[in-house]
Amino acid sequence: MRLVLVGTSYQRAPVELRELLAYDPELRREALGRLSVEGAEAAVLSTCNRTEVYAVDAEPGALEERIYGELAGLSGLSHSELAPALYSVADEAAALHLFRVAAGLDSMVPGEAQILGQVREAYEAARATETTGPILHRLFRQALRVGKRVRTETAIGENPASVSSAAAELAERVFEGLAGRRILLLGAGKTADLTAANLISRGVGEIVVANRSRERAEALARRLGGRAVGLDAVVEEVALADVVVASTSSQGFVLSGAQVERAMKERRGRPIFFIDIAVPRDLDPAINELEDCYLYDIDDLERVVAESVAGRREEAVRAEAIASEEADAFRAWQLSLDVVPAIASLRARAESIRREELERAERRLASLSPSQRRAVEALTSQIVAKLLHQPTVRLKEAAAAADGVLYADAVRHLFGLGDDADSPRQSRQ
């Protein structure tokens, strides 16, 4: 049985194409049903950055064509139109790829944690539709273990790796914790939303949203569990806030140094942290000259992100070693599937012969005491075990060297073992 991976990601396809290849839960369920015909195993990993089909069958060529057809049908594009954006790998290379994905090594930001949950969700969806068998079951369980190992044994995911997460972490450092702190958002766009989410995850208290469009401010405030105000109330809110996040699309300063200086008179020495993510800038650079005011603009934050990503890349070397080690283990396990049924059949045949010979000798053994009968049983079992020990070791060594199929076939032929129709490779888990 061969493992095949066909997919695409942000590295090969623009968002316009990735949108065409995205699966929602219902589409994925239908696709798994089509891909798992004639006992094939199948799982689909679909995120905003990638769509990948993992499948197992005895005929990898036909399976790959079936996956291409599935993706062509989903996207409405022809095979030739899709081909440049797709990659296809098999067996150990496919396992290594999934392990790197689960570890966050194939993500836009090295070490991002969300992908591990998405890998788990893909595995659970395949199990729910009963399209996983022993190989995909082992593959995805091992991938989840790789992701956990990488996050436990390396620091690849510890530093901020986006402007919004960098802003939140800097704010946390300034105040030595954000529990109960009041946040003022200037702007109600996506960047403000992401930064607010990062701040909320660190335990902030009240969130106030100020925007030129009161309707958008109220919509974001409702989603964040905060309150909305107009931009005309900014000075009063600055006097109350601990962190100000500015990300409007204004062409000039939304908040001047003079306005902040006026607000600071009400604060009585309490520090305030300003995060200006807007381009052009929303906050007057003069704010940073005021006492107890800490201002970071987009360039400051991007430097923090660059330093953090560089640190993640160093940790990524350790994470790559973990993924490679696990891929080697998966390869050894997959190769062993060719010899395990032969070993089991050989042992079963030997045990059957042992018992048949004991039954034939039953008359001569009838006078033996129970303890003597047990001794005969133990002796004959030991003889069988010793005779089979070396062939078993050699078969396993052959599997590790990729010669397992040849050795297994030779053993079946020499001992007349026949086919193992109900071997582990044929059953679903």
Q: Which residues are catalytic?
A: 48
pLDDT digits (tens, 9 = 90+) for 65-122: 999 999 999 999 998 999 999 999 999 999 999 999 999 899 876 777 778 999 999 9
Handedness of CA 95, 99, 100, 106 (dihedral sign): positive
Closest-CA residue to 395 (of 330, 340, 329)? 340
Residue 161 pLDDT > 70, yes or no?
no
Cα dist from 305 to 309, 329, 383, whole Å: 6, 35, 66
- The pLDDT score that the predictor gives to residue 418 is 67
Q: Whole-structure pTM over 0.85, yes or no?
A: no
Domains, the chain, with CATH or none: 2-158 (3.30.460.30), 163-298 (3.40.50.720), 337-426 (no CATH)
Longest CA pairwise span in the chain (Å): 111
3-state secondary structure 27-51: HHHHHHHHHCHHHCEEEEEECCCEE
Q: Tell me what the pLDDT averaged over the chain comes to.
A: 86
CA distance 233 to 126: 52
User: Helices 134-153 and 114-128 sit at what angle, rounded to 10 degrees?
Assistant: 160
- The pLDDT score that the predictor gives to residue 186 is 92
Encoding tokens for residue 260?
A: 């902040």
- The pLDDT score that the predictor gives to residue 403 is 62
Handedness of CA 8, 12, 13, 15 (dihedral sign): positive
Across 159-168, 219-228, 283-292, the highest mean pLDDT is recorded for 283-292
Location of structure tokens 């020495």: 269
pLDDT digits (tens, 9 = 90+) for 124-142: 999 999 999 999 999 999 9
Handedness of CA 246, 252, 254, 260 (dihedral sign): positive
Residue 239 pLDDT > 50, yes or no?
yes
Share of the chain above pLDDT 90, in %: 41
Across 24-33, 269-278, 311-320, the highest mean pLDDT is recorded for 24-33
The dihedral region occupied by 38, where left means phi > 0, alpha psi between -120 and 50, and beta the remainder, is left
DSSP letters for 360-410: HTHHHHTTS-HHHHHHHHHHHHHHHHHHHHHHHHHHHHHHHTT-HHHHHHH
pLDDT digits (tens, 9 = 90+) for 15-73: 889 889 989 899 999 999 999 988 899 999 998 789 999 999 988 888 999 999 999 99
Residue 421 pLDDT > 60, yes or no?
no
Per the CB < 8 A criterion, the answer to whether 34 and 70 are in contact is yes
- The pLDDT score that the predictor gives to residue 168 is 80
**Strand partners of residue 6:** 53, 88
DSSP letters for 316-352: HHHHHHHHHHHHHHHHHHHHHTTTHHHHHHHHHHHHH
Per the CB < 8 A criterion, the answer to whether 204 and 263 are in contact is no
Give the least confident one: 72-76, 246-250, 261-265: 246-250
Average pLDDT, integer, range 334-347: 76
Residue 164 pLDDT > 80, yes or no?
no
For the beta carbon of residue 9, count every other beta carbon within 10 angstroms.
20
Binned at pLDDT 50, 70 and 90, residue 423 comes out as: very low
pLDDT digits (tens, 9 = 90+) for 360-417: 888 888 888 989 989 988 999 999 889 888 887 777 777 666 565 676 777 777 777 7
Per the CB < 8 A criterion, the answer to whether 278 and 248 are in contact is yes
From the number of C-beta atoms within 10 Å of its C-beta (0-12, 13-18, 19+), residue 160 rates as buried
Q: Give the number of residues written for the chain.
A: 429
Location of structure tokens 């026949």: 418
Residue 162 pLDDT > 70, yes or no?
no
Q: For 412-416, which contacts have Cβ atoms below 8 Å and span 24 or more sequence positions?
A: 412/342, 412/345, 415/345, 415/346, 415/349
